[in-house]
Structure 1
Amino acid sequence: MNALVRTYGLGLTGIFVALVAIWILLLIVVPQIRMIERAFTYEDRGGETAMLALQIDRAYVEKLQLEREVGTLEQMTDSPADSGSAASSPTTPSPATPSPATPTAPSPSFSAPSPSAPSPSTPSPSTPSPSAPSLSPFAPSPNAAGAQPALSAGERTARLAELNQRLSALETKITDLEAQEDTSSGVAGTKEHYSLKNFTDMSGLHLQIFILTLVYAFTVTICAFVICYPVAYAAATMENKNTLTIILVGLLIPYAINELLRIFSWVMILDRNGILNTLLDFIGFIDLSAGEGFRFVASNGAVFAVMVYAYVLFMVFPIYNTIDTLDKSQIEAARDLGASPWKIHTRVVIPHAKPGIAVGSIMTFMLSAGSIAAPEIVGRGMHPDWFSQLIYRRFFEADSWNQGSAYSLALLVACIVFILVTMKVFKVGIRDIAK
């Protein structure tokens, strides 16, 4: 503080301190306090409007299950094994058929939000199918209709027609129920009281998704470290400054583009008819005209790859900054004493770079665990929801802000635990990280 006063004077220093205090208070402290309060406040809802909302909720769950079954049948139709029969029989559904991966939900009204929301104990329209999500990197995840019996092309066509007819009738029913909800004179009686029910009412499926999301975020962190550590080490030990400048600028250039555009560019690369499959078709590895092609998107591996790419700088630069402060003569001395490259890194470089590795791991994990765009865009299809998507839908589709706050608080606590464990494992403190 005294250094700031000597540099900028008492007046400017006071302005800086006041702005920082206001920023911390309005953007961090107050929202967090409000979120915690809502997380521990349970809304007991009832009444005619709430009952209509419950019926709408159940209709969306049924619609989601039908859409997933349609998606499974479409995938079986589009598979290379059935390419011949698919070409001879009109099994492709109409383009107007809703996507099996994205459950249609009512758009949130910002002018007149609905006074009711589905009960926390009732599945919401965002509740995914109760199946165990797959950890396989590039295999599509299982879904509610994953266990389909062997069907001929004609039987699949008939089944698809039946499912599309049921979906059309269900959409009409949902539209009618939503119209009744909008014109309903019933008032949802709401009683609020402090309770842990927002946490304890979390379904087993949502708990499973919560745990898997932490596993996914940890996997992204490990992949980012494995890829970024050699880059950071090479940049920190490079003697040619011009080459170093080119490498660092090359890392920064993609970040001049909006994150959503970078994610959509990856979709164009990994899609069934994307750049990667086109390249494999060009070299003769697959034949796209025969229906062959890898389904890279809508898988954990695709989401992991996009997240590592999106957050690479948050891992590279902290490690680079710490390795850059290492006395390079220590590396030369270890090499002269006959140390292998593995021992040089594990006994000299990595121990010195622990603060940078801890910072990079913390930032990458937290960004991955809270990411919405990458799982929603790249994982759109057969991929199971991430917990961040559930939080979004609790707030803006289920209109259950209290339960959304509880979910957000649970994710925040998990991230804080990860930070503390990381600091313990790497034996670094706050001052080491701040450097």
Structure 2
Amino acid sequence: METLVRTYGRGLTALFIGLVGFWILLMIIVPQIRMIERAFTYEDRAGETATLALAIDRAYTEKFQLEQELSGLERAGPAVGQMPSAPSPFAPSMTMPSATPVAPAIPSLPTPGMVPSASAPSALSDEDRTARAEELRDQIATLDKEIAELEAKEDTSSGEAGMKERISLENFTSMSGLHLKIFAMTLLYALTVTICTFLISYPVAYAAAMAETRGKLTLILIGLVIPYASNELLRIFSWVMILEKNGVLNSLLDSLGLIDLAAGEGFRFVASNGAVFSVMVYAYMLFMVFPMYNTIDTLDKAQIEAARDLGGSIWKIHTRIVIPHAKPGIAVGSIITFMLSAGTIAAPEIVGRGLHPDWFSQLIYRRFFEADSWNQGSAYSLALLAACILFILINMAIFKVSVRDIAK
């Protein structure tokens, strides 16, 4: 505080502190208090409006199941016809069961066919696939009409929403087993992305810190920063264009004669979490590189030279000198990368568009904006926040760093 006053004067210091305090209050404290309040408030839904909302949510889920089966049939053979447009990234996933109790008198909906296993479409003849595809298209068209009617009724509904609120833990305890599994797997996915990002970023950070000339350092840093001059969504869509079945990577394999795209061959690289991991590593690499570079750059290079003179191997130099010195930077980079990975929705939604397992952030989005269950969405968000805070504490304990060390 005294340093700020001496540097900027009392007036500017007071203005700076006031703006920071207002920002923290408006953007952090108030939203968190509201989220906690909603998370522990359970809504008991009934009435016409709430019933229609649940029916619409169920219809979107069933429609997505049909689209997934249709997509599987079309990938199995060319006789089915042209593949329809991919489902919207904002449509509910086939893996999302409604955690809200279903109110009575929900309008009847067409019952979709079961989603077949990956081997089922290829076991059908071309005629059977074509017939099943036409049947699925008819069912999807029926569902589209049903959804439009339900949404029109919802817009004109004058019925009571019928929501009774009470303080309860039900928003947490009513989480289905599937949602709990997705929650645990999302934490594992985020940890995997963090580890992969560290393994790729550490050599880059070390090379930048050990650069012998300013020109070499500038070249490395510019190479890192230039891709981030574009929007994150553009970077994600660029990866989709590379990894899609008709994308750059399959075109390269086709030009090398390894596959024949004209014959329908090609790999659907986006249909796996591996593609999502790759995109996230690329998107968040900078947040891992710079904290490590800042700490490694403060290391006395004479220690490395002395270790080499004494016959130390590269492995021992890094594990006994460089990495212990860089622990604060590694801790900061891991925290940022993990929290960004656990909370992202853009990459899991866009890459593959439903062809890989759900992430918990997608469930949170649907709770808020499709199931219209803000209270349960708040509970899910609070659970994810608690998991991220626990990761931070564990991370600090593993690297034996304090908040003051991280702040440096």
How do 1:154-233 and structure 2 match up within 5 A? 154-233=127-206
- Give the whole-Å Cα distance in 1 for the aligned partners of 2:207 and 2:293: 9
Q: 1:4 to 1:277 in 2, by over 3 A?
A: same
How far 1:146 moved relative to its partner? 2.4
Q: Aligned partner of 1:146: which letter?
A: S
Given the alignment of the two structures, is residue 392 of structure 1 paired with residue 365 of structure 2, yes or no? Answer: yes
Q: TM-score, normalised by structure 1?
A: 0.86
Q: Deviations over 1:276-304 (max 9, x none)?
A: 11112222222222222111113211111
- Give the whole-Å Cα distance in 1 for the aligned partners of 2:102 and 2:363: 14
Q: 1:103 to 1:228 in 2, by over 3 A?
A: closer
Show the counterpart of 1:424.
397
| Cα pair 2:53 2:372 within 8 Å, conserved | no
Q: Secondary structure at the match of 1:43?
A: strand
Tell me the matched-pair count: 391
Q: 1:98 to 1:203 in 2, by over 3 A?
A: farther
How far 1:206 moved relative to its partner? 1.2
Show the counterpart of 1:70.
70
| Cα pair 1:44 1:190 within 8 Å, conserved | yes
How far 1:231 moved relative to its partner? 0.8
How do 1:211-290 and structure 2 match up within 5 A? 211-290=184-263
Given the alignment of the two structures, is residue 99 of structure 1 paired with residue 86 of structure 2, yes or no? Answer: yes
- Give the whole-Å Cα distance in 2 for the aligned partners of 1:169 and 1:98: 17
Q: Deviations over 1:15-52 (max 9, x none)?
A: 11111111111111111111111111111111122222
**Which of residues 272, 293, 300 in structure 2 aligns to 1:320?**
293
| Cα pair 1:218 1:365 within 8 Å, conserved | yes
- Give the whole-Å Cα distance in 2 for the aligned partners of 1:259 and 1:122: 38
Given the alignment of the two structures, is residue 380 of structure 1 paired with residue 353 of structure 2, yes or no? Answer: yes
- Give the whole-Å Cα distance in 2 for the aligned partners of 1:305 and 1:421: 25
Q: Aligned partner of 1:57: which letter?
A: D
- Give the whole-Å Cα distance in 2 for the aligned partners of 1:71 and 1:258: 30
Q: Aligned partner of 1:92: which letter?
A: G
Gaps of 5+ in 1: 78-85, 106-117, 124-142
Q: 1:15 to 1:368 in 2, by over 3 A?
A: same
Show the counterpart of 2:100.
120
- Give the whole-Å Cα distance in 2 for the aligned partners of 1:419 and 1:375: 23
Q: Deviations over 1:48-87 (max 9, x none)?
A: 222222332332232222222112212222xxxxxxxx2x
| Cα pair 1:71 1:101 within 8 Å, conserved | no
**Which of residues 361, 364, 375 in structure 2 aligns to 1:402?**
375
Q: Deviations over 1:365-392 (max 9, x none)?
A: 0011111111111131411221111111
Q: 1:104 to 1:179 in 2, by over 3 A?
A: same
How far 1:98 moved relative to its partner? 5.4
Show the counterpart of 2:110.
none
| Cα pair 1:69 1:146 within 8 Å, conserved | no
Q: Aligned partner of 2:155: which letter?
A: D
Deviates more, 1:38-47 or 1:146-155: 146-155
- Give the whole-Å Cα distance in 1 for the aligned partners of 2:129 and 2:119: 10
Show the counterpart of 1:57.
57
- Give the whole-Å Cα distance in 1 for the aligned partners of 2:390 and 2:313: 36
- Give the whole-Å Cα distance in 1 for the aligned partners of 2:300 and 2:348: 41
| Cα pair 1:101 1:382 within 8 Å, conserved | no
Q: Secondary structure at the match of 1:316?
A: helix
Q: Deviations over 1:123-170 (max 9, x none)?
A: 9xxxxxxxxxxxxxxxxxxx9432553211111111111111111112
Q: Aligned partner of 1:75: which letter?
A: R
Q: Aligned partner of 1:58: which letter?
A: R
| Cα pair 1:42 1:198 within 8 Å, conserved | yes
- Give the whole-Å Cα distance in 2 for the aligned partners of 1:236 and 1:286: 42
Q: TM-score, normalised by structure 2?
A: 0.91
How do 1:343-358 and structure 2 match up within 5 A? 343-358=316-331
| Cα pair 1:48 1:186 within 8 Å, conserved | yes
How far 1:395 moved relative to its partner? 1.1
How far 1:230 moved relative to its partner? 0.6
User: Pairwise CA RMSD of aligned residues?
Assistant: 1.9
Q: 1:247 to 1:169 in 2, by over 3 A?
A: same
| Cα pair 1:121 1:201 within 8 Å, conserved | no
